Every structure is written in structure tokens, then in C-alpha cells.
Structure 1
């Protein structure tokens, strides 16, 4: 149990999120199809360069930052720590998401004159973690219970889940006509490791007892589910080669398995207006291998300790007295351990956007339209929502897109989300011959003081692409 707690503590030191607002709708990049399987496709075929076709990492926290507490601003550290603690909300969170493409590819097919269907496929690794701030636990540790007689502390504030998975996927995209394109993607999840504790309930109350004793009243219903962790932390079977082999098997469909799907569409309202939407990761994973669950469910009253010793009897010594107190207290936290299978649901994500294109490209000498060049600019708004254990999290983005010149496109975003109201991002996609390279980052305004940043993200990748307009 101690090793599991250490693993959870290590993981929760990081904080990430899943929104990819810069990549969404960036159809020059093949990976944008992963955010909307019904998006517009602008290549005949592509393959992602293995392990570097797509890498995404995003760091953030909705509560206080490191700078809030440790800034050298002349304010007393204890004052800043106190302000940070009392400024917390139980809905503040730290979340983790990292994604790496192992391999990916796609190709168009159909009639010789109208390749209106597209298959995409691949394998990626993903790590996802969220932990809500256990505010009542922190306040109790900071203040102690002597100042909080008769106050109810909510033990359900402890709420977190995390998982590392691999995902095999295959998607189908069809352009029905000039107005409508739709797509669907099937997924097979293989869980490498999982930890989940999201249904906790209960309370802790201290009341005044007799003879200046305190009564500590616990009403606990706490549960921690784990899969794929215990075998890796077992000292008796610790072997690096075996652990690596085990992880490889789990990445290749040897872990706890699950199924899911993505669905999406793009609708061309008129020549310049476009509406699209997608629903991602509608699915589940059943955990039945390498399980170890812990459940603590009890109602107990601990009456405290009489510091002026006990009344000696013939059958009880001082050691017996203190031993009994220790046993009583340990019994309170004696958790039930089981290996029951359980199901986790993937965090469903919704994306939708409205886009307006303008600025047709013209020849300078005659101001005539250049055929098949499309519009050079676009502006729009995007809504992103992800389902989370306590409540959905949302982000709203405004963006400007431009083809700078042949082979180079850029997208600038402004996002309001749970982390910040001043999130400015930039993405660039460059194509040299058939090689595509892209890089995206956001929250540029916070780079001047990274310790005060609520969130920072990075995406990059390399692909080999044959575009539709190429011979």
C-alpha cells in the first residue's frame, strides 16, 4: 500500500490538460483528423515518421502556482502559504495528459476521378491523470482540529484518477458532397497501468468530550482501485528486464482491454462559412489483470488519550494501555484489500467550431483569381468540453488562420479556460517537398515567468505527405 501511495504522489507532481485548440481544424496537418474524424482531408496519403510524427504535452494547474508561494516579493512566507490554502476550492484541479504517436498513416481511395474516401490508422501512447485539490485535508493539516471543534471535514475531497494506455485505431472519412464530410474512428485500448479513487465519501468531526478529551468521529467510505501497478512495485519479483518485457506486452494489446470510438463531421454552410463538431473517446476499459483494490468503510469514534495515565489494575500495565490505544487507532484505518475487476470510462471530449474564410488569392498583374487556391485567411471560434469526475471542464477559443505563402501556414489562438483568461497560442506548419513539420505552443504571455504560469503546452511532429494537388 505504501508503494502505491508513493506512485500516486510521484504522478501527481505533474499537471497537464488535453485541449489541442491550435491543432483542431488545422487540416494541413494529418493529425488534425484525430481531433475530428470528419474533418477536411488535404492529402492523398501520408505516413507519420515513427515516434516523432506527433508529440503533445501540456502543463497546468487551476489553483495557486509555485510563484504565489515562493516569490521574493517581501511578503512573509507563512502569509503567502495561508493565502494560498484559503484561496483553494475543492473544484481546483491538477490534470495530466501526454501523448506520443508510435506510428500513423492514411490514404485516400475511391474512383479514379473522385477519391472521396479516406482511411487513417495508427498506434499511440497516452498518459492521463487528474487530481482535485483535497482542500479539507489541507486545512485540517494546516490548522489542526483544536480550532475546528464541531466542524465537518469532507473526506470526499480526495478525488483522483490516472492511467497510461496504448491505443490502436482505424478511422474512416467520407466526403459525401461539397457540403458534408463525416467520419468515425474505432479504438482498442490497452491499459498499461491504472489508479482510480473517484467515489469517496465521508466526514471527520472533532467534538468536545468529557474531562477535556476530544471525540474524533470518523464516517469513512474511501476506495482506491489499481491495476498494472502492484506487479511492477513488487520487490520480490523486481527485475528491470522482466518489467520492460511486461510493459511491452501491455502496449501491444497485452494489458487490460477496452473499446471506444470517435465521431465527427464538417458542414460547409456556404462558400465561406463552415461548421464542424466531434465527439472523442466514447469508450471504456475493463480492468481484470494485476488488480489490487483498497476499501476503507467504517464509522468509528476515537475518544482520545488521557495524558495523565490510566488507573492501574492487576490485569493491565502501562505498556498494555498504550498498546491498546495504538491498536484501536490502527483498526480504524485497517483497509479491506480485494482483487475485484472494475471498469473505467474514458474522458469524453467535445469539440465544435464555426469558421469564416476570406481573402481569395489573386495574380498581381491582372488581379485575377488563381484557380483552386481557396481562401488565404480564416477566423472562427471553437468550444472544447471534457468530462471529468466532479464536473465538466470547458475552454473557448478564438483564432485566426493564414496561408503565409506556399508550404507555410500559421494559426494564432486566444483561449479562455479553467487555467487562464489570457492564453495566447501560435502554431506553424511547414512543408518542404513532401516532408511536413509542425510546431505549436500556447500561453506565450506566461513564458516571462514560468513559475507563475497556469499552463504551458507544446506540440510538434514530422510527416511525409503527398498532397491532393500534386501529380
Structure 2
């Protein structure tokens, strides 16, 4: 049982999240338009270097860190594991998100002298995972039920979702006037793999038995829905060829959209917002679901193991227990179609620009140049099975000189209250290179960090004059 507990915590220590607070509003980088289709556009056209234009990984845990379990501090591992099991709550979660842009591009349209509309397009592959901490399962695995007679364990603590998809998208951005722009983006999702178990109910309790020491009572309504793991082709399991096929719109399909806007309140104040991934995926192919539902009672497990005179071993004992449990629970396997909703995301920010460059001729402020500095607050939220996951970011942006800009962020979220990040965008001729990372305060001991993020990309851009 303790092996299961160790696995639960190893999974909870390596996790990822979706917030891209450094990239949001960084208009020199074309990929910022993915975060807000109504954002400012500063180029005439661009194309992303295939597979290199946007690579995103980050990690985080709202519970414990790797260091909490494996620190060489003289504390016994079992003690640290036990402390972690009881300190975490069922609303603690781990998430995982990774994106790689396969190709992307964009170009301005309109009259020769006034191109105020912009078309962007591309394809990216995304992995998304979330699992809430199954506290009652972990306690039961760690303690067993012998010392928990009459304690009701909550089966709903099992709550997870995972998907691997490709996203094909095309967006439209329009600058209505000097103060307002908006944008929309249509998306086609192709599901490569999916698994979710988010509506579990029920309980498990141990009572004093009539025919044995204990009576184990189960009231369960558990379901795991999957698509893509089994296939209808020659191979009955997922293969590399299945990945390629589904990446190219051969998987379970869905539709979605993004919307966003940017509004200048005056010359220095700006407000913007976006709603992303308002959409769904219909799982109709290669579906396999597993469900356990009903009330069960079992008195056949001897709670005490001993080496019997007949030569019973531990393996024999647990094999008998496993066989009896398999006979007890009836797992209903179906191929029923189902629909999943994409995790909708909200971004919104309030920004203040200041500090113009002085001209050498008169030692006065230029009327033509944009402001060199911006500060602001950004709110981020993502819909999750139990409750929204939120973050608040304060940032400072600085255009250092033509071709080089930087953005520093301070983020408060479920992972940390001291997340400091930095992003840099450089233009070398028409080549744009950007690099972003956060949680710098934890880099002296990265294993103690509850979130670490990295984004980088390479584009070819033809800027507006």
C-alpha cells in the first residue's frame, strides 16, 4: 500500500500550469496575439520558425514540493511522507500543461495606406492535466482500515482529467480607431488522447463484522472515460501513427473560439481582456469507459496476515484478496460517446504607460515615439473541475532601446506568493527571439520551488514603420 502512496506524492511534486503572465500583452512578440486576439499588432507580417516559434513548459504544485519529501535534512523519509499526507487537503491540486507551436503566421490586410486588419493562423500541440489530491485514498493506503473502523472515506476525492490535442486556429484582429481594437479566433480541436474521471461519488467504511472481524461496505459511483487509448485499426493500442493521424485532424474533433479587446482610456491608461478556449470536443471514436456503481459488502478479508502452517506466503495472501475483490466489483465497460469542455480562461489587465524618449535636438520629449515604460495589474483565471484557478500579476515593462524590450512580473497564485519572473524580446534585423522564465527566487534550490516556468520562441517578422 505504501508504494501506492509514494506514487501519489511523486506525481503531485511534478506538475504544470497554464498561466502565461509574462507573454500576455507583450505586443512585440506575435504569440501574444494568442493570449488576446484583440491585442495590439506591431508587425505587417510574420511567420514562426516551425517547431521553434513557441515552446512552453512550466511546473507547479499547490501542495508540497520535491524538497519537502527528498531533502537531505536528517528527517526520516517516512516521517516526511506522513507529514505531507496529513498536511495536504483535498482541494490541493497538481496541473500539467505543455505547448509546442508546429507552425504559425500572420499578415495585415486592408488598403495600401491603411492596413488596420490582421489575419493570424497556426497549429499547436497541447497537453493538459489536472489532478486533485485524493486525501482519503492516500490516508487509507498509508494507514489501512484496521485503525479506521467506522471512519467514512470519501470516494469523490478521486478527481482528474488529462488530454493531448492539436489545435488548428485562424484569427481576425481589427483596429477600429486609435483607441479601440478587438479580435476573434476560431479553433478546431483534434483530440489525440483523453482520460477523465471528475464526477465520482460514494464512500467506503469498515464496520465490525458478523462472520469475520470486519465488514467492508462500499457505496460507489466511479467512472473513468477514455478515448484514443484503444484504436479500431490493426493495432489495438495507441501508436506513433495514431499520433500523426490525429494531430492532422484525424482524431475526435471539436470547435471553439477566443475573443478579446484593447481599449485606450486616454494616452497613458489602457484596459484589455480576453476569453480563451470557449469550446468542446465530441469523443465518438476509439472510446472506452469503465464504471463501478452500486452497494457492495465484503467480509472475506482476514485483516491479519500470518505465515500459516500450510505454507501461505504474503504473495498468496494478497493474490487471494485481489481475486476476491475482482469477483466482488463488477466493472462495466462501455463505448458510450461523451463530450468534454475545454478549460476556459480569462485574462484582463489595467496598464499605465509613461516616460517618453528625449530628443537630442531640443532635449525635450518626443511627440512621435511611444512610451518607454508600462506598469500594470493582470488577472488570470481558468475553469477547473472543482473551482477556478486564479492568479494576480503586477508587472513592469521597459523598452530598453530599439529592438530590445524586457518585462518583469510578480505573481501571486495557488502555488506561491513570491513568484518573480522576467521576459526578454530581441529583434536582430527581422528575426525575433524571446525567452521568458519565472520564480527566480527559487532557483537557488529549484527542488523547493512549487512552480517553475520557461517559454521561448523564434520568429521572422516584418515590422510596421
Instruction: Tell me the TM-score normalized by structure 1.
Output: 0.90
The answer to whether the 8 Å contact 1:430/1:437 transfers is yes
CA contact (8 A) 2:14 2:61 kept: no
1:244 to 235, 240, 243: 240
Matched-pair contact (CA < 8 Å) for 2:27–2:40 = yes
Could you say which residue in structure 1 is the equivalent of 2:342? 346
Q: What per-residue deviation string (whole Å, max 9, x for no partner) do you get for residues 177-220 of structure 1?
A: 11110000000000011111111111001112237611111001
How far apart are the structure 1 equivalents of 2:417 and 2:284? 42
Structure 1 residue aligned with 2:279, among 277, 280, 283? 283
Residue 264 of structure 2 is aligned with which of 257, 261, 268?
268
Query: Does the CA contact (< 8 Å) of 1:298 and 1:332 recur in 2?
Result: no
1:225 aligned partner: 225
SS in 1 for 2:372: strand
Residue 79 of structure 1 corresponds to: 79
The answer as to whether partners of 1:91 and 1:133 remain within 8 angstroms in 2 is yes
- 1: distance between equivalents of 2:54 and 2:267? 32
- SS of equivalent residue, structure 2 residue 110: strand
- Distance in 1 of aligned mates of 2:84 and 2:137: 14
Summarize the Cα distance change of 1:307–1:398 in structure 2 as closer, same or farther, 3 Å threshold.
Answer: closer
1:158-307 correspondence to structure 2 within 5 Å: 158-210=158-210, 213-231=213-231, 237=235, 243-305=239-301
**Normalization by structure 2: what TM-score?**
0.91
Q: Is the 8 A contact 1:213 1:304 kept in 2?
A: no
Give 2:3's aligned residue: none
Distance 1:228 1:190 in 2: 11
The residue aligned with 2:141 is 141
Q: Give the drift of 1:75.
A: 2.4
Tell me which residue corresponds to 1:317. none
Aligned-residue Cα RMSD (Å) equals 2.3
Deviations 1:2-59 (A, max 9, x none): xxxxxx9998884110000000000000000000000000011111111100000011
1:106 paired with 2:106, answer: yes
Supply the distance in 2 between the matched residues of 1:59 and 1:431 (Cα, whole angstroms): 28
Which residue does 1:410 correspond to in 2? 406
- CA shift digits 1:284-341 (9 cap, x unpaired): 0000111111001120111244699xxxxxxxxxxxxx99987653233331001111
Instruction: Determine the C-alpha separation between the residues in 1 that align with 2:235 and 2:268.
Output: 62
Superposed CA deviations along residues 370-427 of structure 1, whole A, max 9, x for unmatched, are 3532100000000000000111000000000000111000000000011000100000
Q: Distance in 1 between matches of 2:453 and 2:116?
A: 34
Q: Does 1:400 align with 2:380?
A: no
Quick one: distance in 1 between partners of 2:191 and 2:22? 28
Aligned residues of 2:12 and 2:93 also touching (Cα < 8 A) = no
2:417 is paired with a residue whose SS is coil
Provide the residue aligned with 1:359 in structure 2.
355
What count of residue pairs does the alignment treat as equivalent?
Answer: 445
Match of 2:377 in 1: 381
Structure 2 residue ranges without an equivalent (≥5): 1-7, 305-317
SS state of the match for residue 252, structure 1? helix
Q: Which residue does 2:421 correspond to in 1?
A: 425
Offset at 1:126? 0.4
Query: How far is the alpha carbon of 1:79 from its aligned partner?
Result: 2.1
Q: Aligned in 2, Cα 1:188/1:323: closer, same or farther, shift over 3 Å?
A: closer
